[in-house]
Amino acid sequence: MGCVFCESSIIKEREIIRNDFAWAFPTNIPIVPGHILVCPIRCIKTIDELRDEELHAIFELVGKLKRALTKVFMAEGFNFAWNEGKIAGQSVPHLHLHVLPRKEGDTGITKYEPRKFIYRPGSREESPEHELKNVAEVIKDQL
């Protein structure tokens, strides 16, 4: 298999929203409920490879998704993260923006030291597929 984002039918079934140049779906190992990924449709590894229309398309989706995530998960704030390169934690070589809706009482990270804030401590179980599809559906309903 090449790129899991491009080729996995399971991930494609989780799609929340798409425009001409970008799309979004829930990650399979969420840090908090509603943790989603937004990525360009074109398979590229780094932000430097983005065309202007792709960058605009990503942030167009982020704006819509923030409104939906605020309604669905009562988000009071957001974390956004790009991981570029293996050393920076990029495990899928298809550029993607992590969008995490945050609220008072979230478990895990409470201090925002750059090297620690994005990953919650302890083990993270993979979410069952039906839960991920449900997350995608409830967000879709708010778009």
| pLDDT higher than threshold 60 for residue 124 | yes
**Mean pLDDT score of the chain, rounded to an integer?**
89
Is this model's pTM higher than 0.85 or not? Answer: no
Residue 21 has pLDDT above 70, yes or no: yes
CA–CA gap between residue 21 and residue 136 (Å, rounded): 19
Question: Considering 56, 96, 98, 130, which one is annotated as catalytic?
Answer: 96
Using alpha carbons only, how large is the chain's radius of gyration in Å? 14
Q: What pLDDT was estimated at residue 88?
A: 83
130 among known catalytic residues: no
pLDDT confidence of residue 118 = 53
Look at 120 and 21; give whichever has higher pLDDT: 21
The domains located in the chain, with CATH, are 4-140 (3.30.428.10)
